[in-house]
Amino acid sequence: MRHVKNVLMRPEVSALAMLIVMVIVFHFLSPAFLTYGNFQVLLQPIPEVALIAIGVTILMIAGEFDLSVGSTFALAPMVMVLAMAAGWGLELGMVLGLLAASCVGLVSAFVTLRIGLPSFIATLGMLFMVRSLAIVISGGFPPPFPRELDLWWIVGRIDLFRVSVIYLIVIALLLAIWLRRTDFGSWIYATGGNREAARDMGINTAMVKTVCFVLCAVLAGFAGMIQTFRIKAIVPTMGTGFELTAIAAAVIGGAALTGGIGSVAGAIIGVFVLAFIENIIILTRVDANWFRFAVGALIVIAVALNHLTRHMAARIKIDEEAD
């Protein structure tokens, strides 16, 4: 019973159950769903969206929002490509792009933690400002992406996947270990779960939140670079709307809007749930406009399921807890 309870308590368990049910149902809805060719297409954008969702989830665990990830997703590669066009080279371009992303995170953190605005408002402002910056610095005509560049090390094809999947797996594993098995990870959960208590126990909660803001922005910027490498073009409007996809994935994966609850695995499962839904709508030739309806319905169902499983877990009484 103890183990059943522990499993049910995990934030991503209901999302995982939902994902498994979806795979089975979708397999019967369309024989094309569980095929090599379909997954080859379906998996393409997964690393990019998942990296954003992981960042948003970790920030949400710390008790804050970032609505500007879609804009940062465009700004970082834009800075990178412009730096490359100016002859600075790929490596330095990437460093500058990621620095630009971390500045976005720092500004959001400053406005939220120092000035004291809700992060929802602070990053809503950043959403517009950063998008505008990405367009302005491109001068309206972004430079062409240097197609001759060898990018196999990051977006090369390995059978079903691209190399970027390996980056995702490594980053996800490292961040999952960081969250669950290090003292800083514990501070993130404590800060989001009860900021007062964390502060009273001597944790610098503003520092913890700032680290999460910056991490979230850097992951979004890196994700934007991967997409730029993959499609070998830079568009200043790329990533529009990704903030909502990322928050949807985080919430479907069990992250609590109020902070303190969530997991890296949940974020990834949430991304797959959304990708599968979009995919099945295309495969079954349902009017694509239903996609948003499905996403909306899924969010509500997922959160309801989360509540239900947690309620079930809480009702499993373990003998001595009666005390």
Partner 1 sequence: MAAPQLEVRALDKNYGSVHALKSFDLTVNKGEVIGLIGDNGAGKSTFIKILSGVHRPTSGAMLFDGKPQRLRSPRDAMALGIETIYQQTAMVPSMSIMRNMFIGRELRTAGPRGFGYLDVKRMGREAVAAIADVGLHLRHPETLVRDLSGGQRQGVAIARAMHFRSRILILDEPTNHLSVKETLKVLEYVERAKAQSITCIFISHNLHHVEQVADRIVAMARGRKVADQPVHELSVDRMIDLIG
187 versus 213: smaller Cβ distance to partner 1: 187
Shortest distance, position 107 Cβ to partner 1, whole Å: 24
131 versus 195: smaller Cβ distance to partner 1: 195
Site residues for partner 1 per CB under 8 A:
2, 6, 9, 181-184, 186-187, 189-190, 193-194, 196-203, 256, 260-261, 314, 318, 320-321, 323
Residue 221 sits at the vertex; the CA angle it makes with 85 and 245, to the nearest 5 degrees, is 130
Shortest distance, position 50 Cβ to partner 1, whole Å: 24
190 versus 226: smaller Cβ distance to partner 1: 190
49 by Cβ neighbours in 10 Å (0-12 / 13-18 / 19+) ranks as buried
Shortest distance, position 70 Cβ to partner 1, whole Å: 28
- Provide the 8-state DSSP code for 144: P
105 versus 262: smaller Cβ distance to partner 1: 262
Residue with tokens 């066009």: 85
Shortest distance, position 181 Cβ to partner 1, whole Å: 5
Shortest distance, position 313 Cβ to partner 1, whole Å: 9
Shortest distance, position 197 Cβ to partner 1, whole Å: 5
Token pair in block for residue 26: 């979708």
Interacting residues of 157 by C-beta distance below 8 A, sequence separation 6+: 163
131 versus 310: smaller Cβ distance to partner 1: 310
Shortest distance, position 183 Cβ to partner 1, whole Å: 4
Query: If you write DSSP's letter for every residue of 184-199 in order, what string do you get?
Result: HHHHHHHHHH-HHHHH
81 versus 256: smaller Cβ distance to partner 1: 256
158 versus 314: smaller Cβ distance to partner 1: 314
* Measured distance CA(305)–CA(20) in Å, rounded: 14
CA distances from 120 to 123, 228, 298 (A): 6, 28, 22
Query: If you write DSSP's letter for every residue of 235-285 in order, what string do you get?
Result: -TTTTTTHHHHHHHHHHHTT--TTSS---HHHHHHHHHHHHHHHHHHHHTT
178 by Cβ neighbours in 10 Å (0-12 / 13-18 / 19+) ranks as middle
Token pair in block for residue 193: 């779960």
